[in-house]
Amino acid sequence: MFNIERWQEIFETIRKNKLRTFLTGLSVASGIFILVILLGVGQGMQNGIAEEFEGDASNSIWVWTRPTSVEYKGMNPGRFFSMTNEDFDFIHKTNEDVIEYESSRVRIWNATISYKKESGSYRIEGVFPGFQFIENQSMVSGRFINQNDIDEKGKIVTLGRKVKEALFKNGEDPIGKYVKLNDIPFKVVGVYTDKGGEREEEQVSIPSTTAQQVFNRGQNINNLSYTLKPEKDFETAVAKSEEFVASITRYLKNKHVIAPTDDRAIGIGNSLEQAKRFYSLIFMIKAFFWWVGVCTIIAGVVGVSNIMLIIVKERTKEIGIRKAIGALPSSIIGMILHEAIFVTAIAGFTGLIFGLILLEIVGPMVKTDFISNPSVNFNIAITTVFILIIAGALAGFFPAWRAAKIKPIVALRDE
Amino acid sequence: MPHNLNLSIMIEIKDLHKSYQMGSNSLHVLKGINFNVNEGELVSIMGSSGSGKSTLLNILGMLDEADSGSYFLDNIPIKNLNEKIAARYRNKFLGFIFQSFNLINYKNALDNVAMPLYYQGIKRKERTDKALHYLEKVGLADWATHLPNELSGGQKQRVAIARALASEPKVLLADEPTGALDTKTSYEVMDLIQGINDEGKTILIVTHEEDIAHMTKRIVNLKDGLIIDDGIVEQVRANSYV
């Protein structure tokens, strides 16, 4: 391999056979180039789609109740039931390690909210501090509900931006003012906006405990909301969230005496399930690009093999001459392989570098909705180059081996 | 002349047989050849086509193997050769001259001559010096950097002769060396070969041309795989024609 004489011989052969070398190199380089571009675009699509869905809190789960649909333990279907604080506390206790943010919700539909002479009909949400993060609400001014408010059942309220605009005309600062919720005065502590849309801003939030007390809901809650802690990869996240959903469903069914077969009574929304569908779309796209890439590599390998066959055929006479003047069969095979590996390696890396350069230059400029920052895993690219080199060597070996076996007298025979 | 002295036997062949399978038929090409060549001889092997003369030369050149019989080259038994040993013997003991020159067409004259030296593992610098020396010997030093297709037929054959000499073999084997050349060029090449023989090199030439054969010192006549005539002849010097 590091025989200088051999290298000189190879360089000379390559220099004297430029077209042949160029054609071999071209098929290898273009194969690698196309593969790199394809993989890059595939990655770009993944990035693009991931960005599209990043905006939503992708791992939120919410639970609500509906009338039962299956007769169970002597109870008729169509029974209404309600989750309670006890449920919320139990789930909190048993799933503490996976829950990131949590909030129960006590809903009061169509409450009349007024400030001075202005009034309107809005929804009241009795919530926990975690609600702000689950709903991705951000404060315009003041603060959100805190644990202290929950514990003290404080009569405080945060207003949605729309509510604030409707009640506080002339740009009056609402913080510290009292608004009336169904004629009960609450102190305004903050104003929030929600990217989720105007509907989300046409409501007010008060502490969950306050809502139960003031609006006479006892221990009942309408709704549970959670986000789960981030996991190291998407598959684990999906698995954890499914496990979490299964565990709370099991608990709630048991607690509220609902048939295990009743799929209607407990409603569960899992945004991760939806995200999963997009991720499987991405997976399909990537698989497609891989498929095309692998086909490209196969085409490249076939191309290299063909060229190697032709090269050896073309050099049969030369091989005969070399053998007649004393070349060993091993040196013939070595010469052809050495040249083949050298050419495919140089060409492969050239294609790789050109592909990477193109991605590097054009990549950041591509900014459509579904392709973003196309790039390629360098290890994968390197691996394919080596696969191609090995394939080229194998493709060259068999004809070279056969050529080295030919008796010089046959190779030298004049046609 | 030195070759008339009692010199060692260079080639010794006894009862050599060779057949080729042609489909279901077996073609008996050599039917028991016995013949010796002393060091320094210049021998021509003659015969019509199909007489077995090229087969004999190929066996002598270790490009082909006999079915039976013995072959000693400078007292070394040539038998049961594997590819590796055959290649080494060819490289060390033999120099080939072909009718169609068989130069490597993408290498210049100098590199062609240097090639046997490459396979002897000689370093580049020494290779070049030696190759240039032999190119000078055949009168083509000025053409060292020319590719074969820039040379005339006679020049190509002289490059081939230089290449055959470069490895300093014991025997030169020439298969119709003038077969592709016109008469004048043929004589020039024969003049060169005679000169090399004068220096003591053993040379075997296969030819079917009478005038070429008479420029050697001994003519072996082959017919149907047997030697029918083997005798010393009065050598005609090629330069007397030029």
Q: What is the DSSP string of A154-185?
A: --EEEEEHHHHHHHSGGG---TT-EEEETTEE
> Apex CA B43: angle with CA B240 and CA B132, to 5°?
70
Strand order of the β-sheet with B25-38 is: B25-38, B9-22, B68-73, B76-77
Rama region for A221: left / alpha / beta (φ>0; ψ in -120 to 50; rest): beta
Whole-angstrom Cα distance, residue A140 to residue A175? 11
- Contact list in B for residue A17 (CB cut-off 8 A) is 106
CA gyration radius for chain A?
36
A415 touches chain B (CB under 8 A): no
**Nearest CA among B24, B81, B41, B51 for reference residue B173:** B41
pTM of this prediction exceeds 0.90: no
Q: What helix, strand, coil percent values describe chain A, rounded to 5? A: 55, 20, 25
Whole-angstrom Cα distance, residue A80 to residue B28? 108
Helix axes of A234-255 and A271-314: crossing angle, nearest 10 degrees: 150
Q: Using the beta-carbon criterion (under 8 Å), do B119 and A325 form an inter-chain contact?
A: yes
Whole-angstrom Cα distance, residue A254 to residue B208? 110
Residue A330 distance to chain B (closest CA, Å): 8
Comparing A40 with B33, the larger pLDDT belongs to B33
For chain A, what are the domain ranges?
4-53+278-412, 60-272
Q: Using the beta-carbon criterion (under 8 Å), do B123 and A5 form an inter-chain contact?
A: yes
- Contact list in B for residue A318 (CB cut-off 8 A) is 104
Residue A343 distance to chain B (closest CA, Å): 18
Q: Using the beta-carbon criterion (under 8 Å), do B124 and A8 form an inter-chain contact?
A: yes
**pLDDT of the residue at A291:** 86
Taking CA–CA distances from B113, the nearest residue in chain A reads A325
What sign has the CA pseudo-torsion B53, B58, B60, B66?
A: negative
Alpha helices in B61-123 (DSSP H): 83-93, 109-119
Residue B187 distance to chain A (closest CA, Å): 24
- Contact list in B for residue A317 (CB cut-off 8 A) is 102
**pLDDT of the residue at B3:** 46
Out of B58, B64, B163, name the one closest to residue A325 (CB): B163
- Contact list in A for residue B116 (CB cut-off 8 A) is 325-326
Out of A9, A324, A327, name the one closest to residue B63 (CB): A324
Residue B232 located in a structural domain: yes
Residue A325 distance to chain B (closest CA, Å): 5
Strands A60-65 and A223-228 come out as antiparallel
**pLDDT of the residue at B4:** 47
Model pLDDT for residues B101-115, shown as the tens digit of each residue: 999 988 899 999 999
- Long-range CB pairs of A330-336, under 8 A, 24+ apart, other chains included: A330/A404, A330/B84, A331/B119, A332/A400, A332/A403, A332/A404, A333/A397, A333/A400, A333/A401, A333/A404, A334/A6, A335/A6, A335/A9, A335/A10, A335/A13, A336/A308, A336/A311, A336/A312, A336/A396, A336/A399, A336/A400, A336/A403
Classified as helix, coil or strand, A20 is: helix
- Contact list in A for residue B120 (CB cut-off 8 A) is 326
Out of B92, B98, B104, name the one closest to residue A412 (CB): B98
Out of B102, B118, B124, name the one closest to residue A321 (CB): B102
Tokens linked to A335: 């010469």
Pick from A325, A328, A407 the residue to mutate for testing the B interface (most B CBs within 10 Å): A325
Q: Using the beta-carbon criterion (under 8 Å), do B96 and A324 form an inter-chain contact?
A: yes
Average pLDDT on B31-53 reads: 91
Whole-angstrom Cα distance, residue B64 to residue B62? 5
Classified as helix, coil or strand, A5 is: helix
Taking CA–CA distances from A407, the nearest residue in chain B reads B63
Q: What is the DSSP string of A319-331?
A: HHHHHHTT--HHH
Integer distance in angstroms from the first to the last C-alpha of chain A? 35
How far is CA A99 from each of CA A87, A191, A235, rounded to the nearest angstrom?
A: 15, 26, 17
Whole-angstrom Cα distance, residue A238 to residue A216? 38
Tokens linked to A199: 């509907």
Q: Using the beta-carbon criterion (under 8 Å), do A318 and B100 form an inter-chain contact?
A: no
Classified as helix, coil or strand, A121 is: strand
- Which residue in the block uniquely carries the two structure tokens 């949400």? A125
What sign has the CA pseudo-torsion A201, A207, A209, A213?
A: negative
Whole-angstrom Cα distance, residue B94 to residue B121? 17
Per-residue pLDDT of chain A (415 residues; tens, 9 = 90+): 457 777 877 887 788 778 878 887 888 888 888 888 888 888 887 777 766 665 445 678 889 998 888 888 888 888 888 899 999 999 999 988 888 899 999 999 888 999 988 889 999 999 999 988 888 888 989 999 999 999 999 999 999 999 998 999 888 889 999 999 999 999 999 999 887 677 788 899 999 999 999 998 889 999 999 988 877 777 788 888 888 999 999 999 988 888 888 888 888 888 777 777 777 877 888 788 778 877 877 877 787 778 778 878 888 888 888 888 888 888 888 888 888 888 888 888 898 889 888 888 887 777 666 677 777 777 877 887 888 788 778 877 887 888 788 777 777 766 4
Residue B24 located in a structural domain: no
Residue B160 located in a structural domain: yes
Residues of B at the A interface, defined by Cβ within 8 angstroms = 58, 61, 63-64, 83-84, 87-88, 90-92, 96, 98-100, 102-104, 106-107, 111, 115-116, 118-121, 123-124, 163, 167
Residue B104 distance to chain A (closest CA, Å): 6
Alpha helices in B71-152 (DSSP H): 83-93, 109-119, 124-137
Classified as helix, coil or strand, A227 is: strand
Q: Using the beta-carbon criterion (under 8 Å), do A325 and B91 form an inter-chain contact?
A: yes
Q: Are A389 and A67 in contact (CB under 8 A)?
A: no
**pLDDT of the residue at A230:** 77
Length of chain B: 242
Q: Using the beta-carbon criterion (under 8 Å), do B119 and A13 form an inter-chain contact?
A: no
> Apex CA B172: angle with CA B166 and CA B176, to 5°?
115
A96 touches chain B (CB under 8 A): no
**pLDDT of the residue at A370:** 67
Tokens linked to B188: 């020039």
Whole-angstrom Cα distance, residue A237 to residue A86? 27
**Nearest CA among A413, A334, A409, A402 for reference residue A7:** A334
Could you list the residue range(s) of the whole structural domain that residue B183 is in? 40-64+81-240
Q: What is the mean pLDDT of chain B?
A: 89
Taking CA–CA distances from B124, the nearest residue in chain A reads A5
Residue B41 distance to chain A (closest CA, Å): 22
Q: Using the beta-carbon criterion (under 8 Å), do A325 and B84 form an inter-chain contact?
A: no
% of chain B residues with pLDDT over 90 = 61
Report phi then psi at B205, rounded to 5.
-125, 125
Q: How many CB pairs under 8 A join A and B?
A: 71
- Contact list in B for residue A8 (CB cut-off 8 A) is 124
Taking CA–CA distances from A18, the nearest residue in chain B reads B106
> Apex CA A99: angle with CA A97 and CA A102, to 5°?
145
Residue B241 distance to chain A (closest CA, Å): 30
Strands A266-270 and B9-22 come out as unpaired
Task: Please tell me the total count of domains within chain B.
Answer: 1
Residue B209 distance to chain A (closest CA, Å): 20
| Complex prediction ipTM | 0.87
- Which residue in the block uniquely carries the two structure tokens 């009718």? B99
Q: Using the beta-carbon criterion (under 8 Å), do A414 and B99 form an inter-chain contact?
A: yes
Residue B240 distance to chain A (closest CA, Å): 33
Q: Please report, for the domain that includes residue B113, its CATH number.
A: 3.40.50.300
Q: Using the beta-carbon criterion (under 8 Å), do A318 and B120 form an inter-chain contact?
A: no
Model pLDDT for residues B98-155, shown as the tens digit of each residue: 888 999 988 899 999 999 998 888 888 999 999 999 999 999 999 999 999 999 999 9
Tokens linked to B172: 């030169």
Out of A17, A318, A323, name the one closest to residue B87 (CB): A323
**How distant is the alpha carbon of residue A306 from its chain centre?**
41
- For the beta carbon of residue A394, count every other beta carbon within 10 angstroms: 15
What sign has the CA pseudo-torsion A220, A224, A229, A234?
A: positive
Average pLDDT on B167-187 reads: 91
Whole-angstrom Cα distance, residue B115 to residue B127? 8
Residue B53 located in a structural domain: yes
Whole-angstrom Cα distance, residue A266 to residue A292? 45
Q: Using the beta-carbon criterion (under 8 Å), do A321 and B103 form an inter-chain contact?
A: yes
